[in-house]
A = this chain, B = another copy of it.
Amino acid sequence: MASNSNIDTEGATQHLRDILKLDRPGNSTEEQTLHCETVKPASALVCECVAGSQLGCIYIDTSCLTWEGQPFQGKGAIMEKLTSLPFTKIAHSITAQDHQPTPDSCILSMVVGQLKADDDPIMGFHQSFILKNINDSWVCTNDMFRLAIHNFG
């Protein structure tokens, strides 16, 4: 595992800034829409999506979660699933992350990393999610999670 420490919020912020080209004047609709000041909270949300902290704040009633192929819709169902996962402690490490603006001014992220739940062996995972700005708050409308055990048929 690259690191068991907390996720690098500053690094993720800069990565988002770089990918979304937010340090230079933008000409495209995407660049104009995704203002610089939105990157920091969005980046923190990326970390929360992965780390599972304060998840209740980021899902809404239309959010979708697909967890290891199982679909859940709505904040209630998603929180029920996430809070019933069978471990008492978990550490995450992000090893690669990609971010793109979408045509609808959301952010699509794909995160790859490793996790360690309790005393289980370290496992790879990949997660994709969409962050959307609604009324000046960033929420997670779509979230998909898979352990990295499915690349091998």
Residue with the greatest number of chain B CB neighbours at <10 A, chosen from A1, A95, A151: A151
Residue with the greatest number of chain B CB neighbours at <10 A, chosen from A2, A64, A113: A64
Name the residue of chain B whose CB is nearest to the CB of A103: B141
Query: Could you tell me the distance in whole angstroms from the C-beta of A110 to the nearest C-beta in chain B?
Result: 4
Q: How many copies does the complex hold?
A: 2
Q: Is B100 a contact of A126 with CB atoms below 8 Å?
A: no
List the B side residues contacting A43 at CB < 8 Å: none
Interface-located stretch among A51-59, A75-83, A142-150: A142-150
Q: Is B2 a contact of A112 with CB atoms below 8 Å?
A: no
Q: Is B71 a contact of A19 with CB atoms below 8 Å?
A: yes
Query: Could you tell me the distance in whole angstroms from the C-beta of A95 to the nearest C-beta in chain B?
Result: 4
| CB < 8 Å neighbour of A28 from B62, B98, B144 | B62
List the B side residues contacting A62 at CB < 8 Å: 28-30, 103
Q: Is B102 a contact of A141 with CB atoms below 8 Å?
A: yes
Q: Give the contacts of A1-19 with B (CB-CB under 8 A).
A: 1-3, 19
Given A102-B142, A108-B144, A126-B126, output 13 extra A-B contacts at Cβ < 8 Å: A2-B153, A64-B101, A66-B99, A66-B100, A95-B152, A96-B146, A100-B142, A102-B141, A104-B104, A108-B142, A112-B150, A114-B151, A148-B151
A interface residue numbers (CB < 8 A to B) = 1-3, 19, 28-30, 62, 64, 66, 69, 71, 73, 93, 95-96, 98-104, 106, 108, 110, 112-114, 124-126, 128, 130, 132, 141-142, 144, 146, 148, 150-153
